[in-house]
Structure 1
Amino acid sequence: MSDTVHATDVVIIGAGPVGLFAVFECGMLKMRAHVVDALDMLGGQCTALYPEKPIYDIPAHPAIDGADLIDRLAQQAAPFGPIYHLGQQVTSLTRQGDGWRVGTDKGTVIDCKAVIIAAGVGAFGPNKPPLEGLERYEGTGIFYLVKRRQDFAGKRVVIAGGGDSAVDWAISLSEVAAQVMVVHRRAKFRAAPESVSRLEALVKEGRVEMVVPYQLSGLEGEGGTLTGVRVADLDGQEKVLGADALLCFFGLAMNLGPIADWGLTLEKHHIAVEQRTLATSAPGIHAIGDIATYPGKLKLILCGFSEAAMAAHAIHPLVHPGEALHFEYSTSKGVPGA
């Protein structure tokens, strides 16, 4: 355990869009926040999985990339001076007097009056194909997400998978890569119909090559540099695709991680909450965003934003006991430095 014990009003677990907006909502109610996230960057899945993919259901933004949304949410939270503890996972959550003590796997210890869990789907990682020598090329030739599509400019790219991520990135990378090849075990894709139509049009134009029905069977390269991807058809016949990069989109392996051991009431790998306050079964701990569940729950970022506001208001009496909370609009209250 660290020799230093931090003290704050609220600890927010998760630095995704909903967690970042919770910083703002807490700040507007004069509650200080520390934020902990297992990733070494802000943004959660928005940053890890689709930083350059447009999101269309954020109010007042007809379209906004995941990375831009995170940047703006961080700017919105900045006036309230949040302290970020990134690249570390919360491993312990214990009652401490009238509040809670939060501990991480890096030895960080934070005492607080309340906790907001905004951990998205919990711990997640990519489902990896069972290929010999896979780890030798990870990070140099094999990737499970795209942070910047320009990293693949002028390269021969093989994309494996049949869902939205595979189709969307095939469409996007066709604009910058030297060659894009899509490997899938069948001709039908599990992606949005409009996206599939766009992909089919690119195939007809010769900008994307379909490699179906095939599946990954091996890797070729030297010294950690990928040079080719072996694929096999349903009869086991193999061929080699010359490649500089392999993008594998086989979905995410998700689990609650240590959250499952915190004694909270769970429903199908989600945290059950009271809809009006987002309170969990443990007093002073609230859950918002995708990890929270209640009757009629919608897994939308905009719903998570609303939940952040409701949780902050519910927590206020714990942080400022006996202090009346008079509801004010931001246009009247303003923000620090504005």
Structure 2
Amino acid sequence: MGLESSMSEVITTDVAIIGAGPVGLFAVFEAGMLGMKAVVIDALDALGGQCTALYPEKPIYDIPGHPAIDGQGLIGQLEIQAAPFAPYYLLDQQVTHLGTQEAGFRLRTSKGAVVEARAVIVAAGCGAFGPNRPPLDGLEAYEEAKTVQYLVRRREDYRDKKIVIAGGGDSAVDWALSLVEVAESVSLVHRRPKFRAAPESLRKLDDLAKAGAVDLVVPYQLDGLEGDGGILNGVRVATLDGQKRVIPADVLLPFYGLAMTLGPIADWGLGLDHNHIAVEQRNSATSVPGIFAIGDIATYPGKLKLILSGFAEAAAAAHAIHPLVFPDKVLHFEYSTTRGVPTAAQ
């Protein structure tokens, strides 16, 4: 399994999968079950897409066979499921160019890797996304030192630290409830007393605030960072009428949502519908022959934005791609219970 390629290397594969979230990883498995090799490209530096970026330790309840499984656990299982087919992962890089050629497609990434594939599956979730960053002086130094972070990968990393969380939505409230169990202190900053979160979460937050376990810093907003060389020691907050205070802090977690964009995908002529890619429901084909879209980025009448819907779309796309990769080979459908799991070498 490769993790990156040199700028001069050309990687030849059957299917190029753009997006390493749960649906993209399952597409590796479905392609592999039909004897097709896959290269997976993702802008993030780790597998998992939004599961890893947004809720690695939060439970997901609608995955068949798993009454509850957290995002990172689901990605780990999907990675294991895909492993027999030896996918080649190109992480921390974005597809910047996609062009056609006689044998399919040629893709180039932001790190100079070149991939030649017979077919392309776009499994890019909501497209390229990044955090909405607070407009604070000197923010970049704290980001580089990782004392300002926009996602929580592992709760244990925050044990015995002074945590300041900024935001008023589900992410801010949920992580306040979770990190209070391991952190030395948790302060939650919001510009108004009303939070936008699930009622049960708000009830728990209110109980913790009354017990002094969480400091609700309202109505305040971020005003500045205090520290040296990117090492944070305090977060300055202010009210709209100019009252200021400094909250001792080791880490600031601003949860102001994500800025999402299709990026270069918008220029590929794929028949966009309100920043989604319109596909045929039966096989996830786009308006460009040989390119398919699955998961949250794909749309069709009656579409349900569920991970399990994306799994089914991955299977349909893989079967539609098979005759493109093996034009002289008839595909006889077999259940996995009959066939088992073939290896990439077969």
What's the TM-score once normalised by structure 1's chain length? 0.97
Alignment of 1:143-154 (within 5 A): 143-154=149-160
- Cα distance in 2 for partners of 1:192, 1:333 equals 45
After TM superposition, the structure 1 = structure 2 runs for residues 181-330 of structure 1, keeping only pairs within 5 Å, are 181-330=187-336
Opposite residue 34 of structure 1, the aligned amino acid is V
Whole-angstrom distance in 1 between the partners of 2:342 and 2:279 = 32
Q: 1:27 corresponds to which residue? A: 32
Report the counterpart of residue 134 of structure 1 in structure 2.
139
* Matched residue, 1:108: 113
Q: Deviations over 1:199-255 (max 9, x none)?
A: 112212221111111111111112321111111123121111111111100000110
Q: Name the counterpart of 2:168.
A: 162
Q: 1:151 to 1:2 in 2, by over 3 A?
A: closer
Residue 4 (structure 1) aligns with: 9
1:335 and 2:344 aligned? no
Q: Which amino acid aligns with 2:185?
A: Q
Deviates more, 1:47-56 or 1:251-260: 47-56
1:231 alignment partner, SS class: strand
The alpha carbon displacement at 1:152 in A equals 1.1
Q: State how far apart, in whole Å, the 2-side matches of 1:192 and 1:131 are.
A: 29
Distance 1:324 1:290 in 2: 31
In the TM superposition, residue 323 of structure 1 has moved relative to its aligned partner by: 2.1
| Partners of 1:193 and 1:271 in 2: CA distance | 34
The alpha carbon displacement at 1:2 in A equals 4.2
Counterpart Cα distance in 1 of 2:305 and 2:55: 17
* 4+ runs deviating over 6 angstroms: none
Q: Which residue of 1 aligns with 2:21?
A: 16
Residue 281 of structure 2 aligns to a residue whose secondary structure is: coil
State how far apart, in whole Å, the 2-side matches of 1:205 and 1:303 are: 43
Q: Secondary structure at the match of 2:120?
A: strand
The answer for the alignment partner of 1:38 in structure 2 is 43
Task: Supply the AA of the counterpart residue of 2:88.
Answer: I
Q: Does 1:63 align with 2:68?
A: yes
- Is the aligned partner of 1:174 residue 2:158? no
Match of 1:89 in 2: 94
2:54 to 23, 34, 49: 49
Structure 1 distance, partners of 2:336, 2:203, is 44
Q: How many residues align?
A: 337
Cα separation, 1, equivalents of 2:96 and 2:229? 37
Distance in 2 between residues matched to 1:336 and 1:166, nearest whole Å: 44
Q: 1:256, 1:311 → 2: CA distance?
A: 21
Aligned to 1:121: 126
Aligned sequence identity (%): 69
Could you give the per-residue CA deviations for residues 164-217 of structure 1, whole angstroms, max 9, x where no partner exists?
110110000000001111011111111122222221122122211111111111
Q: Is the 8 A contact 2:158 2:183 kept in 1?
A: yes
Counterpart for residue 3 of structure 2 = none
Unaligned runs of 5+ in 2: 1-5
Residue type matched to 1:167 in 2? Answer: V
For 1:323, give the aligned amino acid. K
Q: 2:103·2:117 contact (CA, 8 Å) conserved in 1?
A: no
Instruction: Give 1:3 shift.
Output: 3.5
The one-character-per-residue Cα deviations of 1:250-304 (angstroms, maximum 9, x if unpaired) are 0001101111111211111111111111111100000001111111111111111
Distance across 1 between alignment mates of 2:244 and 2:213? 23
Q: Displacement of 1:136 after TM fit?
A: 1.9
